Chains A and B, each alone.
Chain A
Amino acid sequence: MSKSRGNVVTPDEYVARMGSDTVRAYLMFVGPWDQGGGWDDSGISGLWRWLNRVWNLVLEEQKGEGLPTIDEAVGIELRHLTHKTIKKVSEDLEKFRFNTMIAALMEFTNYLAKVKEERSVANSAWKKTIDTLLLLLAPSVPHIAEELWELTGHPYSIHNQSFPSWDEKLVAEEQITLVIQVNGKLRDRVEVPVSITESEAKELALSRERVRAHINGKEIKDIIYVPGRLVNIVVK
């Protein structure tokens, strides 16, 4: 409807070079939709590379020698992250938060790339996850989603499918008990989400009151982190 406000970037050119899906994804990613953002050529290249990664993730054969090493824990984590992503994408889409929706999908594909490389989940679980990924992508990048849907053996059309729904129980993160030691002696225990990162775990350990009593005024020589189990602070 706007007749007068000038815009200089010509989308035709980008569509010809990188495709409509990349332009769509970039426009969603550029900033909160109600605030807009600045067009940036390196920014759109990032989205082009992401869609190429999605393409390869779905279609490329898994590499590596011998039998896959299936890890039960990774399977649980994959299911949790899938449901968490479904929830995040659905809620963001409902509220027009397209930029954080795309960020969540990028994070999800990065994780899937790692899982694929490690060959740590069963084939059936992998296929199910890829189906979900394509359905989550369908509103945003409708062409590549349709193509990959077909190439992975599904009947036409992905756009006549239902959007995935999530299980709130699977979204809630599994909690683990993190043990905190000072010089190998148990000083505290704390419940943390399974996805806690190393730096988050170390920071949390140092902030605990019962731990601080044993490290105050002492020099911290080292902090050892055993994922999912313990943090050991070495002081002198």
Chain B
Amino acid sequence: MLLLTSEYDIRTMAPKYNPQEIEKKWQARWEADHIYEAHETSERPKWYALTMFPYTSGDLHIGHWYAMAPSDVHARFKRMKGYNVFHPIGFDAFGLPAENAAIKHGIHPHTWTMRNVENMRRQLKTIGAMYDWSREVITCLPEYYRWTQWFFLKLYEAGLAYRAKAPANWCPQCKTVLANEQVVGEGVCERCGTPVIRKDLEQWFFRITKYADELLEFQGVEWPERVKLMQRNWIGKSVGVEISFGLDVKGVSEKEIKVFTTRPDTIFGVTFMVLAPEHPLVAKLTTSEYKEEVRDYIEWARGQTEIERLSTEKEKTGVFIGAHVINKLNGERVPIWIADYVLLSYGTGAVMGVPAHDQRDFEFAQDFGLPIKMVISPPGWSGRDLKEAYVEGGTMVNSAQFNGMPGEQGKEAIADCMEAKGYGKRTTSYRLRDWLISRQRYWGAPIPIIYCSKCGIVPVPEKDLPVLLPEDAEFKPTGESPLKYCESFVNTACPKCGGRASRETDTMDTFMCSNWYFLRYASPGYDKGPFEPQKLAYWMPVDQYTGGAEHATMHLFYARFFTKAIRDLGLVKFGEPFTRLFNQGTVV
């Protein structure tokens, strides 16, 4: 037997365990022999083992190891069990940290990122994982982001990408817009912890809400219940009735205000209405004697974060605006208030206040001395006052012809009555908003759109992709994209009329880049499309995905949407990208 190790244990004449020597040796041998390169021609059943690719932060920390070593063990096990295992790796390489490094240390984001890639590649190799390095993907390289832009154009053509002015979550520290999912805790920036404020901007959205119902289903996937529940809650589907309250104010053309409720059975208990401070009707409806107070309140509410506004713990605030609506079912006049706990972006931006049966409304009514009217009676109710809202089911009382009806039956009866009289209609509401993908940043895939004063919004023709990031941009924390000040980038010709036009200067949310990296792995060098169809058809969907559960309502959610969208475009044949999911914990 030929012994390659140099040290021997004197007592036994056996070589000593020397991992430093043997690990390097075998890693080099496996690489030289390409033993882990996957092929589409195997007779064995395929197994696509995917681990979430690392962000190019600079160093491989223990969290990466904890995600990657055990997933490699599983992939290796599958290989020995007779599968044709594909276990690729790559880098999630666009994003804010690279740009912050550029501002702080004067190093170009590309240089910073590629230096990190090199270091992390070396570190990843020490894991001894069975990665197929021949399929490596790096999202910040033009050969990759060309196709990220291509997908944007496809979504745009399909009406799934649109531009709109919208209040955005704005981080004053990072000077960028954040998606709802990136606002965490008490309304602070996920990355730097600074409280987020709201700001109106023209931005690009993906119409993820179109897929809300399908995203609630998990056809043929084996995912942890916890993650499925988080996504379902994020979508927040609720079935109820949209109710019209009558408006009769001199000089105001609007004759109704609509609210959405899942509790139509409590309609007789409405004692006030609350509008979001930003609701467009507020200015029109406020009477002169309340103008000043209302203006001050709106000013104050703008400085509050969404999370602060929705917090159930905080003290209720609000002001009466001097106007009333009519509860059409009983003809009662109901005062209109504005309060920051109602958001314009959720539902209709107006809610009916039923203090007896909603805890938030109850606290609001108590703080402002508004009447509390019991309309659902708990079993055995003695008629005494409530100490808190009664939110359970019961029997309808103080509700005219509906008295004595069990609440569940009452919901249907009220809805029927509303629909018959034209006071309202059954409808479904979602918590989910469209996905805001614009980032006022340099280090991302430029949105391939051109603005022409004659032709309007013009998509960059496919043949002109990629829209390259200019290398000479200046990195200053100005609050606007460095691309905005880069004239060679901004100024261009309109692809339609040839006239002077300017480029969109926002880049895409990096979650757009990670929406499809697992598709690119199938054929990373392919230049006739984002993937080679036969290779993709062979490997996809991913058989086993592993990664952190913190991505439940972000990457894992967006990737499902994206897959469904490109399925409807006929680009892929499957609607769920990841058949099985396992979320590892953390090592601290």
Contacts and interface: CB of A to CB of B under 8 A. Distances in A.
B128 A163 contact: no
B145 interface: no
Contacts of A93: 73-74, 77
B416 to A, nearest CB: 47
Given A1-B54, A20-B127, A20-B128, A34 B584 contact: yes
Given A36-B584, A139-B80, A2 B63 contact: yes
Interface in A28-82: 28, 30-39, 51-52, 55-56, 59-61
A234 B455 CA distance: 103
Interface stretch (A9-17, A116-124, A217-225): A9-17
Interface string B246-283: 00000000000000000000000000000000000000
B550 A2 contact: yes
B585 A32 contact: yes
A20 B19 contact: yes
B77 A19 contact: no
Nearest to A1: B52
A7 B61 contact: yes
B191 A4 contact: yes
B585 A35 contact: yes
A3 to B, nearest CB: 5
Given A61-B12, A140-B73, A147-B26, A1 B128 contact: no
Interface stretch (B64-72, B196-204, B303-311, B396-404): B64-72
A: interface residue count bin: 35 or more
A10 B3 CA distance: 33
A11 B26 contact: no
A52 to B, nearest CB: 5
B547 interface: yes
A8 B29 CA distance: 32
A11 B65 contact: yes
Interface string A84-118: 00000010011010100000000000000000000
Contacts of A143: 19, 22-23, 26-27, 128
A12 B123 contact: yes
B66 A27 contact: yes
A52 B27 CA distance: 20
A199 interface: no
Rank and list the top 7 A-B pairs by shortest CB-CB distance, nearest first: A19-B19, A36-B585, A139-B76, A7-B61, A163-B80, A55-B17, A59-B14
Interface of A: 1-5, 7-12, 15-16, 18-24, 27-28, 30-39, 51-52, 55-56, 59-61, 90, 93-94, 96, 98, 135, 138-140, 142-144, 146-147, 151, 153, 156-157, 159-163
Interface of B: 1, 3, 9, 12-17, 19-20, 22-23, 26-27, 29-30, 33, 35, 52-55, 57, 59-66, 69-70, 72-74, 76-77, 79-82, 92, 95-97, 123, 126-128, 130, 190-191, 224, 514, 547-548, 550-551, 555, 582-588
Given A20-B126, A162-B82, 6 more contacts: A18-B19, A20-B19, A24-B128, A98-B70, A147-B22, A147-B26
15 contacts: A5-B550, A11-B65, A19-B23, A21-B128, A36-B586, A39-B62, A52-B17, A55-B16, A59-B14, A138-B76, A139-B74, A153-B1, A159-B79, A161-B80, A162-B82
